Structure 1
Amino acid sequence: MKNVLILNDFVSKGKIAARLMAPVLSYMDCEVFLLPTAMIANNFSLGGNAFFNIDPFIKESLKNWAKLNIKFDLIFIGYIEDKNQKEMIKDFIKNLDYKPTIVFDPIMGDDGELYQGLDESKIANYKDLLEVADIIIPNETEAKFLDLDIKNLTSQSKKIIITSQSTGGKPCVTYNDGRENVIPYEKIDLKVGGTGDLFDGLFIGYFLKNIEIKKAIEKTTHDIGKILLANEREYPGANEINIEKFLNLIEV
């Protein structure tokens, strides 16, 4: 069983972010350490919200796990609240005496815009975190905000996976490790929150089973399609995924 540390926001109302990733990774035989980077009342799309910064708990948790000699096979970085939190997480990773895989999804926007309630300070923080990442998974919007220099990043042996793209009018994911791979998938015309988080969880689960990255992406997009269709059949018009009910559709 692989140890996975999820550094991501915890949303009390809404099956997105860490609340969606954790059950997927647990089902895929990972020991999940869930460390919220922020406590958020609900999905940003609902409008009003409440936030609680949790930096002291992050700091003490990381310190405690180090004392217990707990080591992580993979660390996932998602939503980051501010510069101080970014620096704390970056310092933690750079001072480890072992080398886990660092997967980074710079969660900040979609459909060409930043998510409601976020500002451009997020972009600067996320750009800085590119330094410690091994695998970077933005959607097309986030990749544009970050102005990714793919050639430079891949020359440092970093892997770039960009989701929600299209080629020739057809949806695809691009994977670049120095050479671009285009991975097409069948788009399902549903507006459901958390699909990016589902991608992260599934991809990490397959990656940790030593499945080659391109194949892991293919399996991930295939599973997402099955889960979205099953969710729509069971809960017509739902705006989130009742993931626990459909874990058995994952091809582990």
Structure 2
Amino acid sequence: MRKRSVQRVAAIHDLSGFGRASLTTIIPILSSMGVQVCPLPTAILSNHTGGFETFSYVDFTDYMQDYIDGWKKLNLDFDCIYSGFLGSERQIQIISDFIDDFGTEDNMVVVDPVLGDNGTLYSTMTQDHVSKMSRLVEKADIITPNFTEVSLLLGEPYEEKITDHKIKKWLKTLSDMGPEIVVATSVPDQGEGKDTNVVAFDRRSNTYWKIQCRYIPASYPGTGDAYTSVMIGSLLNGDSLPIALDKGVQFITQAIKASYGFDYPKREGVLLEKVLEVLNMPVVIGGYEMLE
């Protein structure tokens, strides 16, 4: 098969007309990293829901299969399938079928199991949603849950702090469900401060990686989408897993620092436009460590 000149990602997420989150974050990041993004919307919103009191919402579920069938007629194939927010249990089944149809031994399936944050389910999610998401996780090569989603997928109580030993055990259990690589974000640090960690398990090498994320007193929607997008772009460009993890942390840290000094509503997300060029600059690697 002829090698493609530009790698291609099917990005299955919601689309918000205003606010930097989901597809409006994923597309510019991956494009800046030399990757073509083919969006498959799960919902279309006037603006994302983080911090906004009102928004219009169009559920795209009834249109997704026709959309996918159009791609089948074009005989499209992808180097990566990347799913995020899925607004209904029915959508989970649609994406499961999509992975069956478009997944191959050579491409990479990444599932961000969007379910909740800060210890609780999102208001639109139910336990049935969690159960069905667990079955979608089984089909992934890589999953990128936040710490809350790790506990939800495992049915474990949410903890304010967690030891390295326990998080390693949890990630191993998630990997046993199917994915070769589990990347957990926003994992509470064992120390006294508010720092968090990205902790990953790679079953292929039986290796655990940890990267500390220094606390910055600001919160922006869409940073999880941005982090996973940088990680995917890095892997598709040939970087190793720990380097891809490190690049994601460094980019998000720089994006938050670049945004923090400006006086604008944080609900609009980080100022991506000011930091996208960083993605093509040399990066000093060394923030990751191997967990024994």
TM-score by length of 2: 0.79
Structure 1 stretches lacking a partner, 5+ long:
none
| Structure 2 equivalent of residue 65 of structure 1 | 71
Cα pair 1:8 1:36 within 8 Å, conserved: yes
Deviation string 1:85-136 (CA, Å, 9 cap, x unpaired) is 2112111211337332111111122111223443333312311211111100
Q: Provide the residue aligned with 1:38 in structure 2.
A: 43
Distance in 2 between residues matched to 1:237 and 1:38, nearest whole Å: 24
2:60 match: 54
Residues 97 and 104 of structure 1: is their aligned pair in 2 closer, same or farther, counting only changes over 3 Å? Answer: closer
Q: Which amino acid aligns with 1:2?
A: Q
1:83 paired residue number: 89
Question: 1:26 & 1:4 partners in 2: Cα distance?
Answer: 10
CA contact under 8 A between 1:82 and 1:125: conserved in structure 2?
Answer: no
Q: Structure 2 vs 1, CA of residues 233 and 72 (structure 1 numbering), >3 Å: closer, same or farther?
A: same
**CA contact under 8 A between 1:44 and 1:116: conserved in structure 2?**
no
- The one-character-per-residue Cα deviations of 1:207-245 (angstroms, maximum 9, x if unpaired) are 111111111111110111111111223445633123123
Once structures 1 and 2 are overlaid, which stretch shifts more, 190-199 or 59-68? 59-68
1:243 pairs with 2:264: no
Q: Distance in 2 between matches of 1:219 and 1:24?
A: 12
Q: What amino acid sits opposite 2:171 in the alignment?
A: I
Name the residue aligned to 1:133.
140
Alignment of 1:1-252 (within 5 A): 1-45=6-50, 46-96=52-102, 98-99=104-105, 100-147=107-154, 150-155=171-176, 156=178, 158-169=180-191, 170-177=195-202, 178-235=206-263, 238-239=266-267, 240-251=269-280
What is the identity percentage for the equivalent residue pairs of Structure 1 and Structure 2?
Answer: 27
Aligned counterpart, 2:162: none
SS at structure 1 position matched to 2:185: strand
1:162-213 Cα offsets, whole Å, 9 max, x none, are: 0001332242110012332222132222111111111011111111111111
Q: Aligned partners of 2:127 and 2:45: how far apart in 1?
A: 19
- How far did 1:152 drift? 4.4
Q: Distance in 2 between matches of 1:215 and 1:227?
A: 18
8 A Cα contact 1:139 1:163, kept in partner: yes
Between the aligned partners of 2:261 and 2:72, the Cα distance in structure 1 is 45
- Provide closer, same or farther for how the CA distance between residues 125 and 180 of structure 1 changes in structure 2, counting only shifts above 3 A: same
- How does the TM-score come out when normalised to structure 1? 0.91
Query: For 1:250 and 1:20, how far apart are their aligned partners in 2?
Result: 13
Q: Matched residues in 2 for 1:233 and 1:92: separation?
A: 42
Match of 1:42, SS state, is: coil
For the 8 Å contact 2:65–2:94, the answer to whether it is kept is: yes
Count of aligned positions: 252
Larger Rg computed on CA atoms: 2
Q: Distance in 1 between matches of 2:138 and 2:210?
A: 25
Query: Partner of 2:287 in structure 1?
Result: none
Residues 4-27 of structure 1, C-alpha deviations (whole Å, 9 max, x = no match): 010011122321111111110111
Q: Would you say the 8 A contact 1:6–1:32 is kept in 2?
A: yes
Once the two structures are overlaid, the 10-residue window that deviates more, 83-92 or 230-239, is 230-239
Evaluate the alpha carbon distance shift between residue 137 and residue 80 of structure 1 in structure 2; reply closer, same or farther with a 3 A threshold: same
Distance 1:67 1:114, change over 3 A: same
Distance in 2, Cα, partners of 1:49 & 1:122: 23
- Superposed CA RMSD in Å reads 2.1
